[in-house]
Amino acid sequence: MNTLSHEQAVFSIAAVERDTGLSKDTLRVWERRYGFPAPARNANGERLYPQDQLDRLRLIRRLLDGGQRPARIVAASVEELADLVDALRSESVDPQAPEHDATLLQFVCLHRATELAAGLRRALMKQGLQRFVVDTLAPLAAEVGEAWMRGELVVADEHLFTEQVQNLLRGAIGAQAGSSGRPRILLTTLPDELHVLGLLMAEAMLVPEGVSCTSLGTRTPLADIRAATLAGAFDVVALSFSSAYPTRQAVDDLLELRASLPAHVALWAGGGAVHNRHKRLDGVRVVDGLEDTLIALHEWRDAHPSHPG
């Protein structure tokens, strides 16, 4: 440890924002309303958060992401927080958990990265790209997300998992040289969506079908999606929304984009935030699950028979 480990490390409000993802405004308003956090102050009145309050804020953030409400947990004592974590842990026991995940899930930790990479690679070779994504990767990703929520994984473990999967999927996708088939599909996410795995899995499902896929990665502004669609003469725009994305915002964004795109361009949306939300989304093909991607593709091809000659 460092030489100062016997003292309490302190953090500025900017450092806490960086490490917890809670905005400065939120930190100040919690202090005002709930009395926590209660940082010390320096000579100039600036907040100095001690280490233990930072740790507690990170736990609160995790519970918040898990659906808890601030009023209940921000002012809660350490014991109450521990109880809530326990409750989460027990409730997530799934009756028919797929057993093949358990093998790979245990490799999702920092000192078993090599085994994880090898296991994923082996599964990909055995199953082929599409079955690998549907049967192995998607369930495993869900398991990882839940384990993280329960505090069984640290941030680094989740990052490492994402990196390994990216290396594998991008290699597999890149190996299938650019197809020129139809439809021409543009894949991306909106600026507030940072998760790339859903996008990559969708691409992995589509590329083997002879589709011409162009991915812009994450965080493309609406106006640029529109411009790119027209410039690239795409037939389909496909967006991915993780379950962390606010559903309301996803619906608004999709309707706005739908209105700004020509009618002949199809708009597909997939991921947790739009799951089972077909109703409010006229003109948007909601893709429910990865296998539905293939159904959407077949629908499009049935509706757009290739030009003779």
Partner DNA sequence: GATTGCGTTTGTCGTGGACAAAAAATACAC
Partner DNA sequence: GTGTATTTTTTGTCCACGACAAACGCAATC
Binding residues vs a second copy (CB under 8 A): 1-5, 9, 15, 18-21, 54, 58, 110-111, 113-114, 117-118, 154-156, 159-160, 162-163, 166-168, 170-171, 173-175, 177-178, 180, 188, 190-192, 194, 214-217, 219-228, 231-233, 256, 259-262
18 contact, one of a second copy, DNA, none, CB 5-8 Å limit per kind:
a second copy
Answer for which of 71, 78, 87, 156 binds DNA (CB under 7 A) is: 71
Closer to a second copy at the Cβ: 243 or 249? 249
In the complex, the smallest distance separating the C-beta of residue 98 from DNA, rounded to whole angstroms, is 27
Q: How far apart are CA 144 and CA 108, in angstroms?
A: 8
In the complex, the smallest distance separating the C-beta of residue 152 from DNA, rounded to whole angstroms, is 24
What DSSP letter does each residue of 168-187 carry, written as one string? HHHHHHHHS-----SSEEEE
Q: Is 278 in the site for DNA (CB under 7 A)?
A: no
In the complex, the smallest distance separating the C-beta of residue 172 from a second copy, rounded to whole angstroms, is 8
In the complex, the smallest distance separating the C-beta of residue 286 from a second copy, rounded to whole angstroms, is 21
Interface with DNA in residues 75-114 (CB under 7 A): none
Q: Which stretch, 25-33, 119-127, 137-145, 153-161, contacts DNA (CB under 7 A)?
A: 25-33
Look at the alpha carbons of 253, 257, 260, 266 in this order and tell me if their dihedral is positive or negative.
negative
Q: How far apart are CA 50 and CA 16, in angstroms?
A: 10
9 contact, one of a second copy, DNA, none, CB 5-8 Å limit per kind:
a second copy
> Residue 66 in 3-state DSSP?
coil
Closer to DNA at the Cβ: 25 or 99? 25
Closer to DNA at the Cβ: 7 or 163? 7
Q: Is 2 in the site for DNA (CB under 7 A)?
A: no
Q: How far apart are CA 188 and CA 274, in angstroms?
A: 15
Among 149, 33, 22, which Cα is nearest to 84's?
149
Which run of H or of E encompasses 193? none
Closer to DNA at the Cβ: 91 or 99? 91
Q: What are the residues facing 236 on neighbouring strands?
A: 185, 266
Measured CA to CA in angstroms, residue 114 lies from 109, 117, 280 at distances of 10, 5, 45
Residue 226 identity (one-letter amino acid): R
Among 217, 185, 178, 142, which Cα is nearest to 294's?
185
Closer to a second copy at the Cβ: 252 or 291? 252
- Pure H helices in the chain: 13-20, 24-34, 51-65, 70-73, 78-91, 99-105, 113-127, 129-131, 138-149, 155-175, 197-206, 222-232, 247-260, 290-303
Contacts to DNA by CB under 7 A: 12-14, 23-26, 28-30, 32-33, 43-47, 64, 67, 69-72, 246-249, 251, 279
